[in-house]
Structure formats: structure tokens, C-alpha cells
Amino acid sequence: MNDHAPHADHEHEHPTWKQYKWVALILTLVTVVEVWIYYTPFKETPYYVPTLLVLSAFKFATVVLYYMHLKYDHKLFKALFTGPLIIAGCTALALLALFSHLAIPE
């Protein structure tokens, strides 16, 4: 049956507890770093926000790729998720730009 074949692949490529625990550890560490820099003078520098955004994007990607096993699944799911994600991201950026001091005329 068509359905069974992908299931077999599923089990071969699926991460196991060995990999999952590393993922969990990395996520925890990154969160610790994020909170840590909140309490340091780094918070006042202009690099603070970009750093946080990069760290969070990394956590986001890690959860999606590994926990939601998008990395290992059929590419259809990658398409179903990335398309909307791109549109959502662009919409958010556009809205933020439209309401920022850049856009509102004097």
C-alpha cells in the first residue's frame, strides 16, 4: 500500500531520544543565554535586539525542524509551512514599517 512505504522511512529517519535530549539541552541553553543578556549591560547596546531575534529564530527553527520533524518529513510539509510563514513574515514587517516613524509623515 502506498501509505505503508512512507511509514517505514519515517521510522528510519526519525530522531530518537539520543538526539532529542541534545535538542532539549540546546534549547535550554539558548534560553538561558537570552535571559542572561537581559540582565547585562549588553541590553543597552544596539546589538541586543538583533541578537535576541537571531537566538529566537534559531530556537523557532530548531523546534520546527527537529521536534516537528520537518527536516525528516515529506517535502510537501515544508512547502505547506514555509509558504505561509513567508507571507506572515512579510506582512508583519510591512505592518511594522507602515506604523513606524519612518512611514508616518511629519
Partner 1 sequence: MASAAAVAEHHEHTHYTTTGLDNRKVAIWAFIGSECMLFVSLISTYLIYKGKSIVGPFPHETWTAPDGHKFNAILNIPVTTQSTFVLLMSSLAMVLALEAVENTGKPGYAGKIRGNASFWLGFTAVLGMTFLGYQAFEFTSFVHEGLTIHTNLFGSSFFTLTGFHGAHVTAGVLWLLTLMSISMKRGLTQKDALLVDICALYWHFVDVVWIAIFTLVYLIK
Partner 2 sequence: MATTAATPTFAPPAAASYEQSGIWSWITTVDHKRIGALYLYTALFFFMFGGLEAGIIRWQLALPNQHVVSAEMYNQLFTMHGTTMIFLAVMPLSAAFFNFLIPLQIGARDVAFPRLNAFSYWVYVLGGTFMTLPIFFGNAPNGGWFGYAPLTTMPYAPGLNIDFWVMGLQILGISSLAAAFNFITTIINMRAPGMTLMRMPVFTWMSFVVQFLLVLAFPVITIALVFLLFDRFFGTNFYEIAAGADPLLWQHLFWVFGHPEVYILILPAFGIVSEILPTFSRKPLFGYNVVVYSGIMIGFLGFGVWAHHMFAVGMGATADTIFALTTMLIGIPTGVKIFNWIATMWGGQIRFATPMKFAIGLIALFTIGGISGVMHSSPPADLQQTDTYFVVAHFHYVLFGGSIMGIMGGIYFYFPKITGRYMSEVLGTWHFWTTFIAMNLTFFPMHFSGMLGMPRRIYTYDAGQGWDTFNMISSVGTAMLIASTLIFVVNFLKSRKSGEVAPNDAWGAGTLEWSIPSPPPDYNFAEIPVVTSRYPLWDLKHPERTAGIAHSAPDIMTITDAHAVPVHEETGHKTAAELGIPMPFNTVKPAIAAAALVGMFAGLLFMHQNKFAVAMTITIGSAMLFVGTLYAWLTSPLE
Number of H helices and number of E strands within the chain?
A: 4, 0
- Of the pair 2, 106, the CB lying nearest partner 1 is at 2
Least Å from the CB of residue 58 to partner 1 = 10
- Binding to partner 1 (CB under 8 A): which residues in 46-105? 48-49, 52-53, 55-56, 59-60, 63-64, 67-68, 74, 76-77, 80-81, 83-85, 87-89, 91-92, 95-96, 99
Neighbours of 55 (CB within 10 A): 15
Q: What is the CA radius of gyration of the chain?
A: 19
Q: 31-37 — which CB contacts under 8 Å span 24+ positions?
A: 31/59
- Binding to partner 2 (CB under 8 A): which residues in 53-82? 76
> For 44, which DSSP code?
G
Helix (H) or strand (E) holding 58: helix 48-62
**What does the binding site for partner 1 look like in residue numbers (CB under 8 A)?**
1-3, 5-6, 11, 14, 16-17, 20-21, 23-24, 27-28, 31, 34-35, 38, 43, 48-49, 52-53, 55-56, 59-60, 63-64, 67-68, 74, 76-77, 80-81, 83-85, 87-89, 91-92, 95-96, 99
